[in-house]
Structure 1
Amino acid sequence: MTTSQRGPTAPTASPSTPPARRRWVMLGLGTAAQTAAFAFVYGMPYLIPALRSGEQLTLAQAGVMVACPTAGLLLALYGWGAATDRYGERWVLAIGLGLATAALAGAVFVHGLVALGVLFAVAGAAGASVSAASGRVVLGWFPPEQRGLAMGVRQTSTPLGMLVAAVAIPPIAAAHGLRGAVLFVAVLSGVMAVLTALFVVDPPRAASGGKGGGKGAREERPASPYRGATLWRIHGASALMVWPQFTVGAFGLVYLTDVRHWPAVAAGQLMACGQALAAACRIGAGRWSDAVGSRLAPMRVLGAAVGALTLGMAFVPGPPAVILLVLLCGLSASTNGLSFTAVAELAGPSWAGRALAVQNTGQNLTASLCPPAVGALITAAGYAPAFGLAAACAVGAIAVLPARRATVA
């Protein structure tokens, strides 16, 4: 936990230190589960050609289909978080992935914008379970001095899910059409549903942690961590940091092809390198936070670096701008794990599921608003104002973060 997070809602250490091997197995399962879910939720853009050819959809209609899983995820996040706090991680993961598998399997057999859109939204809502539950696995199984690294590893699931989708969906769709690609993600989700049901073990809960802590634990109602402003400020800062991340992620390839005149294939390969760097940066930032005993101090430094690099993108010409772009792909994603760890530690075991759901909701809302807004800004005024706005968001995140330096206890 952190010095700015102490109080009646602070997380309580597990009654005993769980075996190291079990901790890492649980982390691996949680990361794999979220990777499987995100291969669909964030891999939908790779289905656009198949949707247009197989369902005769316009580009605008295909864009609506791409948004359906994210819309479902946003609507269901808090409910899954509350279920996790009440019933534990194992069955929330397994049931959520199982429902996503059923919805995706149903999508294999239907046609049309409405039917597919509804099933994709249901799959996204069901897949939202992994965002709350697998984060609590980290909080419950890992001691404070390892949680930054563990959450950084878990947060690699986003770029890894996008990487799986980028590698697998286009060739499968080309060979077997839309149904083949949807069946692939359904099987991926189904396999992880079975593995989580069989092998995930809910972490030990302290006596005040709710379900699993005995009769007295069920009767005690831990106070809400939202009585103060600290959690809200971390939520706000992390949402602001999503803006530069998605500005670069959504328009980096277009910037390379339109402004730097790169071939599309080479630009895609460079952006893939940026996603690999993003995964490495999330792990590195988490390890850094463990080493210095703080989640928010590294967030401030990384936010400043992202702001400077993004501002540089607005003014630096030629090859140096390409280097800045790759660095931004990595660094702009590096703070996700830090903010998630800080939120989980501040919320404590009894509120972590709901707090992480709120955290995910804010980030996904920003991720949904950023591409159309930035696209309109680029169309009207060019890339420099768009990168300038992203830099302002990164600086704003530093200002929104709680003022006290949070240290791990």
Structure 2
Amino acid sequence: MTTTRTRNRWAILAVAVAAQAATSSLVYGLPFLLPAIRSAEDLSLAQAGSVTVAPVLGVLVALIAWGAAADRFGERVVMAIGMTGTGAAAVGASFAPGVGALVVLLVVAGVFSASISAASGRAVLGWFGPAERGLAMGIRQTCQPIGVGVAALALPPVAQHADYRVALLVPAALCLGCAVLVGAVLVDPPRKPAKSVEATRSPYRTARLWRVHVASALLVVPQFVAGTFALTYLVSEQGWDPVAAGAALAVVQVLGAAGRIGAGVWSDRAGSRMRPMRTIALVVALSLLIWAAGDAAWGWVAVAGVVLVTVVSVTDNGLGFTATAEQAGPFWAGRALGVQNTGQNAVALAVAPVFGVLIPATGWAWALVIAAAVPLAAVAVIPVRGETLGD
């Protein structure tokens, strides 16, 4: 490992975490405004849920293009543009007239934030070798729980004392601040020439990378069921105050962040990303069933289930992300990470409206049982045999 790599890599990792956490507070933190949006705009659960995932739509349509841009132009310029655009669009959304304009600007914010998902992950993977990559990506993937935790702490009280539109200025300020940080600190990793023509060829010639994408997308379902509806569940079904529920879920997000780091270290020591991912999928399914059983019978068990699902369902994300880059190689990493995140965000986009309809139709318990079947399907897809960790 070079002296330059040793000196810079941890600072670059810290910038990547901060940048992705800032965008995550907007893209994945809006469900904490769901009760406020429903009240202010007189929307149904499904309608308000659709508003909260509007940034995810923007992420979905732009990820692959941003990944290709990172492959070609480098990570720093892509991230600086993305952070600035996300913050500016979020400010616009705060002042947008009507729900329609709000949704459009949230989608635009998502389009710009997509740049961070591909470019920041590519930067981290470029600075860390295989023996540390699980740890580094586990730390990097704490960005989402950190961002969601910030949203859980900050957005409900601002919405309660001012307005949910004012609350949008919180993630906007974080994104604009991180744009300055990216420009000042982030350095693109060194790019080595291809050892052979084979190294530059598409990694999609076999099914392995596709299976990683499909399994990761399936495992998004329990993550977003909890992320979108946990606060609403605690308020409507367990009688919690929205601010107290947000604060409790912020603490839970800290546990989720620690779980991502632990999963990364586990994968480094096991010499495998897929075996830990398969185990996590099984535990997530069990956690959803605990939540369902508690809803049907005991409130405290349901709360325990909410905590378990919220924590465990996020721990696999770094494993799938790391495996994608390792299987794709340095010449395809940006595009492959774009495909990976596109699949995940496509599923995430569907979770809020689908479960927003399913929950009132079937009740919480049955909706959670249905959700538990999805990570079990992922277990069958995860490609454990023949796994390699790359260079």
TM-score above 0.5, yes or no: yes
Residue 12 of structure 2 corresponds to residue 26 of structure 1: yes
Against the structure 1 CA distance between its residues 395 and 110, is the aligned structure 2 distance closer, same or farther, given a 3 Å change threshold? Answer: closer
Q: Secondary structure at the match of 1:59?
A: coil
Amino acid at match of 2:381: V
Question: 1:268/1:95 Cα in 2 relative to 1: closer, same or farther (>3 Å)?
Answer: closer
Q: Could you tell me whether the CA contact under 8 Å between 1:96 and 1:127 is conserved in 2?
A: yes
Q: Say whether residues 1:138 and 2:119 are aligned partners.
A: no
> Per-residue deviation at 1:377?
2.6
Structure-1 separation of matches of 2:147 and 2:377: 29
Distance 1:312 1:57 in 2: 34
Q: Does 1:57 align with 2:68?
A: no
* Partner residue in 1 for 2:154: 168
Q: Give the secondary structure class of the aligned counterpart of 2:192.
A: coil
Out of 343, 358, 368, the residue aligned to residue 387 of structure 1 is 368
Alignment of 1:91-170 (within 5 A): 91-107=77-93, 110-170=96-156
Q: Distance in 1 between matches of 2:92 and 2:52?
A: 17
Stretch moving more, 148-157 or 381-390: 381-390
Segments of structure 1 that go 5 or more residues without pairing to the other structure are: 1-13, 210-216
Query: Is contact 1:72–1:124 with CA below 8 Å preserved after alignment?
Result: yes
Q: Deviations over 1:213-253 (max 9, x none)?
A: xxxx9x99811001111111001101111112222333334
In structure 2, C-alpha distance between the alignment counterparts of 1:355 and 1:125, rounded to whole Å = 17
2:42 is matched by which residue type in structure 1?
Answer: T
Matches within 5 A, 1:258-273: 258-260=236-238, 264=242, 266-273=244-251
Tell me how far 1:405 sits from its aligned partner. 5.1
Q: What do residues 285-308 of structure 1 show as CA deviations (whole Å, max 9, x unaligned)?
A: 001101111100111111122222
Q: Give the CA deviation at 1:400.
A: 0.5
What is residue 325 of structure 1 aligned with on the other side? 306
The equivalent of 1:5 in structure 2 is none
1:356 aligns with 2:337: yes
Deviation at 1:164, TM superposition (A): 1.6
Give 1:283 deviation, angstroms: 0.8
Q: Does 1:314 align with 2:295?
A: no
* Residues 130-175 of structure 1, C-alpha deviations (whole Å, 9 max, x = no match): 0000010121000111111111111111121112222223444555
When residues 171 and 136 of structure 1 are mapped into structure 2, their CA distance, relative to the original with a 3 A threshold, is same
- 2:350 counterpart residue number: 369
* Match of residue 9 from structure 1: none
Change (3 A) 1:360 1:265: same
Partner amino acid, structure 2, of 1:167: L
User: 2-side partners of 1:102 and 1:191: how far apart?
Assistant: 11
The question of whether the paired residues in 2 share the 8 Å contact of 1:294 and 1:405 is answered with no
Indicate if the aligned counterparts of 1:297 and 1:405 stay in contact, CA closer than 8 A.
no
Aligned equivalents of 1:150 and 1:184: distance in 2? 27
Higher mean C-alpha deviation, range 374-383 or range 102-111: 102-111
Distance 1:144 1:17, change over 3 A: farther
Matches within 5 A, 1:36-55: 36-47=22-33
State the alpha-carbon separation in 1 of the partners of residues 286 and 336 from structure 2: 30
- 1:262-300 per-residue CA deviation (whole Å, 9 max, x = no partner) reads 555554444333222111111110011011111001111
**Residues 296 and 405 of structure 1 are in contact (CA less than 8 Å); yes or no, is this contact kept in structure 2?**
no
Partner of 2:213: 235
Structure with the higher fraction of residues in helix conformation: 2
Does the 8 Å CA contact 1:149/1:287 hold for their aligned counterparts? yes
- 1:13-62 Cα distance to aligned partner (Å, 9 max, x none): x7x46443411110110110111111122233445577678xx6332575
**TM-score normalized with structure 2 length:** 0.89
Give yes or no for contact 2:226–2:310 (8 Å, CA) kept in 1: yes
Q: Give the TM-score of the pair, scaled to structure 1.
A: 0.85
Tell me the CA shift for residue 310 of structure 1.
2.2
Which residue in the other structure is 1:190 paired with? 176
Pick closer, same or farther for the CA change 1:132–1:117 going to 2, 3 Å.
same
The one-letter amino acid of 1:331's match is V
Question: Conserved in 2, the CA contact under 8 Å of 1:41 and 1:124?
Answer: yes
**CA distance in structure 2 between the partners assigned to 1:402 and 1:307 by the alignment:** 19
Secondary structure at the residue paired with 1:350? Answer: coil
1:397 corresponding residue in structure 2: 378
Q: Alignment partner of 1:343: what SS? A: helix
| Distance (whole Å) between structure 2 residues aligned to residue 260 and residue 138 of structure 1 | 41
CA apart distance, 1:96: 1.1
Judge which range, 94-103 or 269-278, deviates more.
Answer: 269-278
| 1:179 to 1:384, Cα distance in 2 relative to 1, 3 A | closer
Tell me which amino acid in the other structure corresponds to 1:113: V
Residues 151 and 286, structure 1, Cα contact 8 Å, conserved in 2:
yes
Aligned 1:199-214 pairs, distance under 5 A: 199-208=185-194
- Following the alignment from structure 1 to structure 2, what is the Cα–Cα distance between the partners of residues 380 and 62? 17
Residue number among 74, 87, 95 corresponding to 1:88 in the alignment: 74
